[in-house]
Structure 1
Amino acid sequence: MAKTKTSTPKRNGRPGGRPGGRPGKQPVRRVTAGDWIGGARLRTLPLGIAPVALGTGVARANGGWDLTLALLCLAVAVFLQIGVNYSNDYSDGIRGTDDFRVGPSRLTGSGSVRPKTVLKVALAFFALAAVAGVVVVVITQIWWLLAVGAAAVVAAWFYTGGKRPYGYNALGELFVFVFFGLVATVGTTFVQLREFPFDAWVAGVAAGLFACAVLMINNVRDIPQDTAAGKRTLAVVVGDPVARALYALFLLLPFFILVYFAFLYLHAPYVYFTLIVAVPAAVIGVTGKTPRELILALQLSSLTALVWALALSATLFF
């Protein structure tokens, strides 16, 4: 009997593809609530909370703030952050990037959840962010903010989604700096104050630098796997030593920016106590050898961003 020729399906990186480009892969185990919580990557949520806290503090210091609008801005930022995380899980999974992963497994790449299910969850969080944003627009009657919100959602999707994701071309740090730094901070201030005070821009730069630090140390950990998968993050492009130096620079620059606030606000110098967390994070991030050490640096970096922002916001309030 003649043998039939079989062919191996090529990896499909388009939406709706199978995880890792491996057709017919069955779930390896039943997914749990803990898996979904892990997929949300809660340790990154300070990157959504910090700019809103800073923007609200600046609004208060400049003569006005609105609790309802502040909470809505927080909802936009946090839902968008979670949406980005699930979108990243989905896109990396169907591209096969997570085939090389050695850390905690992802929902899509592990085959635990169907790709389309992860995609739907990502889109649901993007939709929640959009709804909160629309409510802000309706309350404030600042209709051009709809364009800003749409740009944020589109940028979040194309970070790792689409045919040419910019997160695969060393532009991820630029995205987080702009949207989780400047846009989130200055936008939060503007909707409450209807002004663009210089303080908001300075605080936004600091928030953006913290976001860059967290993303950089995450990508430093994944340099070998991302290189094998063809994912050209900034860490992959510049190499391990330079990437670690940039991480420390991103993490510590906000403390130099803090000098500006220390001259203007009496209690702002107390924020320097955050160095108690930041310095160990920087040391571990620069010298750490194992993935576990780099994950610890990431967690400490997120904590630094959150505490720094909350402490400075408190000094602006009181």
Structure 2
Amino acid sequence: MDSKGKLKNLIIATQSWTLTASGSSALIAISYVFYLYKIGAVAEFNWLLGLIALFVAIILQIFVNLINGKKDSKYFIGELLVYVAYGLLIPLGVSFVMTSEIILRMLIVSIPVGLLIVAVVYANNTRDIKKDKDANIKTEAVRLGLEGAQVTYQTLLFAAYLLIAILVSVELLHPITFLTLLSFPLANRNIKKMKMAQHNDNSHIQQLDRQTAKLLILFVVFNSAANFIAPFI
């Protein structure tokens, strides 16, 4: 294979369309640390370290995609590990390197983004149920079956928005965070597409992982913007 072919395969393996979404949990952490700093909840923070952490998150996504690009029972990175890495470790780690403090509330406010990141994986694995089952790859979607995977995907999306309301109600997030609802029409369209998937026809969800990644990006943009704006309201 020539160098161009190798480069093309590498780009496909890294799933470059997900790389913008890979920094989502880091961006949420950066914006929330800014919010905490402005309201006096943390004494200081370091922007540069936050940006470095964002870069590291993107590198981690490339690694995860390369591993998942070779899915098998030994190396496949599943939904739980994805959630732990992106929904818990990255936000906690980013906030720590920026402030030198362990900000436990970060583990809570990052849950909605973590759920949407898992939803991206679920969309991919639901589409690939038949192929993975034939290859004896035990993803959660394979274990649950199509109907179970559809319900789980819908639950992940709805839960992300419900948690925003809960976090606002307990004053962990500012009410302006309801800006994230502006992304809900896309979430609703994605849910409708998932419901249309059938055992013998998954054409409606062929691009659903990409569409879910777009939803994640939009959700994070609104969430982060709210965190940056909130201290000045």
Aligned partner (choices 182, 186, 199) of residue 273 of structure 1:
182
1:34-88: CA deviations, max 9, x gaps?
4432221023224421101110111111114422111111111111111121233
CA distance in 1, matches of 2:207, 2:68: 21
Q: Does 1:82 align with 2:62?
A: yes
Alignment of 1:241-280 (within 5 A): 241-263=147-169, 264=171, 265-280=174-189
Q: What is the SS of the residue equivalent to 1:238?
A: helix
Shift in Å at residue 308 of structure 1?
1.1
**Structure with more contact order per residue of length (Cα contacts < 8 Å, sep ≥ 6):** 2
Structure 1 match to 2:40: none
Structure 2 match to 1:155: none
Letter in 2 for 1:39: A
Q: Do 2:190 and 2:211's aligned partners in 1 also have CA atoms closer than 8 Å?
A: yes
Alignment of 1:169-180 (within 5 A): 172-180=78-86
Q: Do 1:43 and 1:299's aligned partners in 2 also have CA atoms closer than 8 Å?
A: yes
Structure holding more helix per residue: 2
CA distance in 2, matches of 1:292, 1:199: 40
Letter in 1 for 2:96: F
Higher Rg = 1
Aligned partner (choices 96, 110, 113) of residue 204 of structure 1:
110
Q: What is the SS of the residue equivalent to 2:110?
A: helix
Percent of aligned pairs with the same amino acid: 22
Closer, same or farther in 2 for the Cα pair 1:189/1:260, shift >3 Å?
farther
Shift in Å at residue 197 of structure 1?
3.3
Letter in 2 for 1:38: I
TM-score under structure 1 length normalisation: 0.63
Structure 1 match to 2:47: 67
CA distance in 2, matches of 1:34, 1:188: 32
Structure 2 match to 1:313: 224
Structure 1: runs of 5 or more not aligned: 1-26, 98-159
Structure 2 match to 1:113: none
TM-score under structure 2 length normalisation: 0.84
Structure 2: runs of 5 or more not aligned: 38-43
CA distance in 1, matches of 2:2, 2:137: 25
CA distance in 1, matches of 2:3, 2:28: 42
1:277-317: CA deviations, max 9, x gaps?
11111111222344442133212211111111121111111
Q: Do 1:181 and 1:209's aligned partners in 2 also have CA atoms closer than 8 Å?
A: yes
Structure 2 match to 1:121: none
CA distance in 1, matches of 2:16, 2:126: 19
Cα RMSD for the two superposed structures: 2.3
Letter in 1 for 2:83: F
